Structure 1
Amino acid sequence: MSVQNKHFLNSPDRLVVDSLEGLCRLNPALALDPNEKVVYINEPDRSKVAIICGGGSGHEPAHAGFVGDGILTAAVCGSVFASPNAVQVRRGIDLVDNEKGTLIIVKLLDLKPAAPSSRNYTGDVLNFGLAKEQYAALHPDKADKVKFLIVGDDVAVGRSQGKIVGRRGLAGTVLVYKLAGALARNGASLPEVYSLAEWAASRLGTIGVGLEHTHVPGTAASQSHLKSDEIEIGMGIHNEPGHARLSPVPPLSKLIPQLLEFITNTSDKDRGFVDFKNDGSDEVVLMVNNLGGVSDLEMCAVVGEAVKGLQGKGVKVHRVLSGSFMSSLNMPGFSITLLLLPPAGSASPSTDLILSLLDSPASAPGWRWSTASPPPSTIPTSQKKPDSAAALLTSSQTLSAPDPSSFISAIKSACQRVINEEPEITRMDTIAGDGDCGLTLKSGASAVLSRIASGQIRGDDVVGSVIAVSEVAESAMGGTSGALYSIYFSALAQALQAHGEGKGQVGEGVWKESVKEALEKLYTYTRARPPSRTLVDPLAAFSDALASGENFVGAVKKAAAAADKTRDVEAKAGRSAYVEGDRLKQEKVPDPGAWGVKAILEGLLG
């Protein structure tokens, strides 16, 4: 896979401060110490416990994005993927000094100092811990007012590998922020806040998966680390190697159960960190975290599979959170976190308390919306089938073609002509558009042939057949061209009903009037007018020729000439309007949509 090496910034050296300044403009309740890169609540309630976190930048919205009422009081930010120093951290402690005390929450990072991307080897723990001890030495009367908690929720690193430095801290750390911050806002004491945060940290498991490493702004361009058909399970948020690589990339329905097994499996003594019972009694909070480069489209699919996977294992999911909570710049990957809730009747904090703290509102930009209810086991769906166009456009009488057999033969011929022309139309569209016009028309033609085979398109019911073609354009083709064709054929059906009333058959005069009215109706939905280098050009030429007295053969010839002429027409609408004009002139390619109309009309001639 390719690595995204380009970034939006003024300069790499200014990026962190520029980002923090933008955050403060986003949330006017925040203030910034630009020298020490500390973001803090400008006027905190000093009768409440303060929560501080921090670490290297590049993991946004962690950490500064969670500063706000109900979560963090301050965040201390280092350079990208590098820990802040003790001076910065002490400044953060000073800024949130209060009556009840301060809890510092730090995620444990990086296992291998030899790795280039792991240059801050356990730096967060060392520097934040040093700052705490220095603060205690400078303020002996407040030594017991500052507590320190390390979070390590990664399950990709086994006990044998991490026995000295411990597990890495990943997105689950954000849940600890939220629980501690909400409890502190409720007025709890420092020991109470610390106790809850420590309990939550012990009940977390996180596993990540990535399609590729990420690139650090200001460094040399990266090369691909993974093959195009490969993913890495357990990759760290500083590009540290993961637990295993899989190839080919499995579908989510296969991948997600593997990831959940990493977290919930307790038979593996090296990696069974969280005390899941796996007997149908486990209850969890699920967090699906975007590592920075995954689309919302894909993220929702991940959420769906994760919920189904847990429910299939008999795990009750009380809450689902999804979004970017702790990224790795623009890494194309995600992580799954499970917070194991306390069993009923235990001496631990109650499930109701944990959920109420998670559900409590927060004014931090990084905290994502979530519903204060469990996900459904089944998704409500409508069982009523939508009314078909045929049901909506019924005529009082059936109109037949003068020769029903020839009517069907002509439609079959037109469909086959479009199918045969697909490679050439596709070639044209790779130059003049997005390359899908030929396949779209082929899909429509194939669907029409299927409707003929099923008896839905018949020569003794012209209006019903035209309506069926309209339905095909809408459902089988889709996109802009599908909508235009569907509108045109819907309008054509309406006109045929009106002009064929009482006649029993659709004669030449009815067709001429109906084709003209259908085009006029189409004009109310598109600004394209000939010459525009669109499918309107041959369609208008055909309609105008019929209206002027040309027979069908002559009108088709005029349409074909108009389609061919689009190679010399400036693009004013449609797909070609977005293509650089000189290229179209050089290539001399007709408009693919216009060529599709030409193929249909010539095909009707047989």
Structure 2
Amino acid sequence: MGVQTKHFLNSPGSLVLESLEGLCAVNPQLSLDSANKVVHLTEQDKSKVALICGGGSGHEPSHAGFVGQGMLTAAVCGNVFASPGPNQVRRGIELTDNDKGTLIIVKNYTGDVLNFGLAKEQYAAQHATKAEHVKFLVVGDDVAVGKTQGSIVGRRGLAGTVLVYKIAGALAREGASLDKVYEVAEFVANNIATVGVGLEHCHVPGTASGEGHLKNTEIEIGMGIHNEPGAQRVSPVPSLHELVAQLLDLLLSTTDSERSFLPVNGQDDEVVLLVNNLGGLSELELGGIVREVEKSLGGRSIRVQRVLAGTFMTSLNMPGFSLTLLLLPKNSSKEYSADVILRLLDASTSAPGWKWHSASPPSTLTATQQAKPAPPLKAGQSTTLRVADPKALTAVIERVCAALNQNEAEITRMDTIAGDGDCGLTLQNGANGVLQQLRDGNVSGNDVVGSLIVMSEVAAEKMGGTSGALFSIFFSALAQGLTTAASGSGTATAQHWAQALSLALQKLYTYTRARPPSRTLVDPLAAFVTALEGDASDVGSAVQKAAQAAEHTRDVEARAGRSAYVEGNLLKRERVPDPGAWGIKVILEAVAST
């Protein structure tokens, strides 16, 4: 799949500084040392331990977004994916100088460790009396790299680092000593594990556009947050259920000597779960991931005490996510018991990047009790209306549904240009819903009116949106029209159908302003109905007129529907037909071919 290579910026070189200036505009409590790219609290409480973090930019809201009361005191920012220099870091230490001491927290990347460490040592050399007032903590929580491979460099620092920031920052705000803040931060760092997965790599602004790293059928597990390759590629793309099982195996394994990082025992384990958006994931997918992980952990007898979900540490625009587990302490006699850790995690903060979370465990997911669906509505008549050949009608319905499935991709392609990109899928959902009702015996040629009402319900429930509403109204109106046209008759004739279609179109007109030519599904539908009004027996000719109307939408100015919001020159240039109109064409041509 392709990498998103377009960005909104003035220039790649100015992006980081301009972003930090924007952050300070959002939160007036922050100040910016522009020359050194240091974001810090404007009014620092000098009687409290200061926390400094930082690293390359491109991981927003990490790191500067976590500067705030109750979290970090300052963040030192490098260029995208590049560590800041020691002079920048030393300036950060100087800006946050205080009476209680300073804790520097960095992710385990060579550049960060070296440059922040060098700055610490330079500061200590210049301020000998304060040498012991600055402590240094390196966080490595990645489980993708095995212990043997990472025996020298250690684990990479990933999203779990933000939990260290939050818990240590809250403790510092309470007035704890530097030693105590360091001790608790170290405990958290030693009991977190993270693994990431991506659909594709990200693109660094200012670099050349390249081809995608992964095939459309591949995902990568264990990707780093600087575009480093993952530990393994998986193809085909597994279901979310299967993927989460794989990721949790990596996080929780006690039998794999290479990745047994968390001392879980499977009996009384309690964890904090962090589901992190790596930058390009939709909120819709993120919610599904949270549900799947929380459910899977429950199946492993691991109690989730807190769930955090959102964008915490990104890799620019990477379409992926990471899972972090913080194993809570089991020994409640320690000063940093599970209750203490959770209290610090739940403490308020003014850091703009910190996401809201509930200060309580997730509720148990239970299936919503639903009443049994009402049986298909029946027409108010003594004799059920049928067609002359029920098997032929079944064949027509199956043919129409098959045609919509076959044309889904093309209709969707059209809608990505002329609409919102879902028309093909919407029609496919409706077709598959009707097929299921056909298999269940709720749609048949022996009860045409009842079947149309069922199809109306399918359109409303399975299709949804504007298209679903239009189809649902039309099917309901068609059922009413047949009931009226065929009153007193047991079998629907071609003339009955023509009269009913005409009534249904008029009913549809009461709910939409679209009239032909309008570049909507109304164009071919009206052409078909009008032709049948002239000769109810000549279905083939009516379908031809409908097809011509659908083709003509290529050159019709959009006056209704979603295309009305699309830039007109784009439609003229692409000459793409209206997707909804094309869907009607597909349906009617399938009818005529059966």
**Deviation, structure 1 residue 342:** 0.6
Cα deviation digits, residues 152-207 of structure 1 (max 9, x gap)? 22223334333333322111110000001111222222222222111111111122
AA matched with 1:164: I
Match of 2:388 among 406, 409, 423: 406
Specify the SS of the correspondent of 2:289.
helix
Q: 1:286 is matched with which residue?
A: 273
Cα deviation digits, residues 419-460 of structure 1 (max 9, x gap)? 576599669747754598678667756765665665534566
Unaligned 5+ runs, structure 2? none
Distance change >3 Å, CA 31–CA 72, structure 1 → 2: same
Match of 1:518 among 504, 513, 516: 504
Question: Is 1:272 equivalent to 2:260 in the alignment?
Answer: yes
AA matched with 1:94: E
- Deviates most, 242-251 or 523-532: 242-251
Calculate the TM-score normalised by the size of structure 1. Answer: 0.84
AA matched with 1:36: N
Specify the SS of the correspondent of 2:537.
helix
Question: Is 1:567 equivalent to 2:567 in the alignment?
Answer: no
AA matched with 2:103: L
- Deviates most, 96-105 or 593-602: 593-602
Match of 1:301 among 268, 284, 288: 288
Given that 1:432 and 1:575 are in contact with CA atoms closer than 8 Å, whether structure 2 keeps it comes out as no
Question: Is 1:250 equivalent to 2:232 in the alignment?
Answer: no
Q: 1:489 is matched with which residue?
A: 475
Q: Percent identity?
A: 56
Specify the SS of the correspondent of 1:326.
coil
- Deviates most, 472-481 or 322-331: 472-481
Q: 1:92 is matched with which residue?
A: 92
Question: Is 1:217 equivalent to 2:205 in the alignment?
Answer: yes
Given that 1:567 and 1:585 are in contact with CA atoms closer than 8 Å, whether structure 2 keeps it comes out as no
Between the aligned partners of 2:218 and 2:580, the Cα distance in structure 1 is: 40
Distance change >3 Å, CA 14–CA 420, structure 1 → 2: closer
Cα deviation digits, residues 106-132 of structure 1 (max 9, x gap)? 1111xxxxxxxxxxxx22222222222
AA matched with 2:522: V
Distance change >3 Å, CA 398–CA 35, structure 1 → 2: farther
Distance change >3 Å, CA 230–CA 554, structure 1 → 2: closer
Between the aligned partners of 1:436 and 1:296, the Cα distance in structure 2 is: 18
Between the aligned partners of 1:282 and 1:225, the Cα distance in structure 2 is: 38
Question: Is 1:415 equivalent to 2:397 in the alignment?
Answer: yes
**Deviation, structure 1 residue 304:** 2.6
Q: 2:41 is matched with which residue?
A: 41
Given that 1:310 and 1:317 are in contact with CA atoms closer than 8 Å, whether structure 2 keeps it comes out as yes
Between the aligned partners of 1:445 and 1:159, the Cα distance in structure 2 is: 52
Distance change >3 Å, CA 170–CA 566, structure 1 → 2: closer
**Deviation, structure 1 residue 505:** 6.2
Given that 1:560 and 1:598 are in contact with CA atoms closer than 8 Å, whether structure 2 keeps it comes out as no
Report 1:448-487 matches (<5 A). 448=434, 451=437, 455-457=441-443, 461-475=447-461, 477-478=463-464, 480-487=466-473
Report 1:436-455 matches (<5 A). 448=434, 451=437, 455=441
Between the aligned partners of 1:187 and 1:513, the Cα distance in structure 2 is: 82
**Deviation, structure 1 residue 583:** 5.1
Between the aligned partners of 2:294 and 2:358, the Cα distance in structure 1 is: 14
Cα deviation digits, residues 265-310 of structure 1 (max 9, x gap)? 233444323322x231211111122222233333333323322332
Question: Is 1:82 equivalent to 2:82 in the alignment?
Answer: yes
Distance change >3 Å, CA 34–CA 316, structure 1 → 2: same
- Deviates most, 74-83 or 251-260: 251-260
Cα deviation digits, residues 363-383 of structure 1 (max 9, x gap)? 222212222222344334233
Distance change >3 Å, CA 231–CA 131, structure 1 → 2: same
Specify the SS of the correspondent of 1:192.
helix
Between the aligned partners of 2:357 and 2:221, the Cα distance in structure 1 is: 27
Q: 2:343 is matched with which residue?
A: 356
Specify the SS of the correspondent of 1:18.
helix
Between the aligned partners of 2:538 and 2:268, the Cα distance in structure 1 is: 77
Distance change >3 Å, CA 22–CA 563, structure 1 → 2: same
Given that 2:101 and 2:134 are in contact with CA atoms closer than 8 Å, whether structure 1 keeps it comes out as yes
Between the aligned partners of 2:290 and 2:55, the Cα distance in structure 1 is: 28
Between the aligned partners of 1:227 and 1:428, the Cα distance in structure 2 is: 21
AA matched with 2:352: P
Cα deviation digits, residues 401-426 of structure 1 (max 9, x gap)? 3xx34174664464366357659966
Report 1:96-135 matches (<5 A). 96-109=96-109, 122-135=110-123
Distance change >3 Å, CA 292–CA 477, structure 1 → 2: closer
Q: 2:192 is matched with which residue?
A: 204
Distance change >3 Å, CA 571–CA 379, structure 1 → 2: farther
Q: 2:148 is matched with which residue?
A: 160
Distance change >3 Å, CA 562–CA 245, structure 1 → 2: closer
AA matched with 2:537: V
Specify the SS of the correspondent of 1:539.
helix
AA matched with 2:477: A
Distance change >3 Å, CA 284–CA 416, structure 1 → 2: closer
Q: 2:354 is matched with which residue?
A: 367
Question: Is 1:138 equivalent to 2:126 in the alignment?
Answer: yes
Given that 1:56 and 1:84 are in contact with CA atoms closer than 8 Å, whether structure 2 keeps it comes out as yes
Between the aligned partners of 1:344 and 1:265, the Cα distance in structure 2 is: 22
Between the aligned partners of 1:258 and 1:588, the Cα distance in structure 2 is: 43
Match of 1:234 among 222, 225, 234: 222
Distance change >3 Å, CA 483–CA 588, structure 1 → 2: closer
Between the aligned partners of 1:264 and 1:473, the Cα distance in structure 2 is: 44
Distance change >3 Å, CA 500–CA 317, structure 1 → 2: same
Between the aligned partners of 2:576 and 2:114, the Cα distance in structure 1 is: 64
Distance change >3 Å, CA 129–CA 481, structure 1 → 2: same
AA matched with 2:99: E
> Aligned Cα RMSD in Å?
3.6
Between the aligned partners of 1:341 and 1:589, the Cα distance in structure 2 is: 54
Q: 2:23 is matched with which residue?
A: 23
AA matched with 2:355: R
Report 1:416-431 matches (<5 A). 418=400, 429=411
**Deviation, structure 1 residue 39:** 0.8
Between the aligned partners of 2:79 and 2:580, the Cα distance in structure 1 is: 54
**Deviation, structure 1 residue 15:** 1.1
Between the aligned partners of 1:267 and 1:428, the Cα distance in structure 2 is: 49
AA matched with 1:148: F
Cα deviation digits, residues 19-57 of structure 1 (max 9, x gap)? 111111222222111111011122233332221111111
Distance change >3 Å, CA 182–CA 458, structure 1 → 2: same
Cα deviation digits, residues 454-493 of structure 1 (max 9, x gap)? 5534566553232122123334555543331111122344
- Deviates most, 191-200 or 479-488: 479-488
Distance change >3 Å, CA 128–CA 280, structure 1 → 2: same
Between the aligned partners of 2:178 and 2:407, the Cα distance in structure 1 is: 70
- Deviates most, 70-79 or 562-571: 562-571
Distance change >3 Å, CA 162–CA 317, structure 1 → 2: same
Question: Is 1:4 equivalent to 2:7 in the alignment?
Answer: no
Report how many residues are paired. Answer: 583
Match of 1:334 among 293, 317, 321: 321
Given that 1:54 and 1:77 are in contact with CA atoms closer than 8 Å, whether structure 2 keeps it comes out as yes
Given that 1:16 and 1:79 are in contact with CA atoms closer than 8 Å, whether structure 2 keeps it comes out as yes
AA matched with 2:39: V
Q: 2:582 is matched with which residue?
A: 592
Between the aligned partners of 1:194 and 1:586, the Cα distance in structure 2 is: 63
Given that 2:501 and 2:529 are in contact with CA atoms closer than 8 Å, whether structure 1 keeps it comes out as yes
Given that 1:55 and 1:84 are in contact with CA atoms closer than 8 Å, whether structure 2 keeps it comes out as yes
Q: 1:322 is matched with which residue?
A: 309
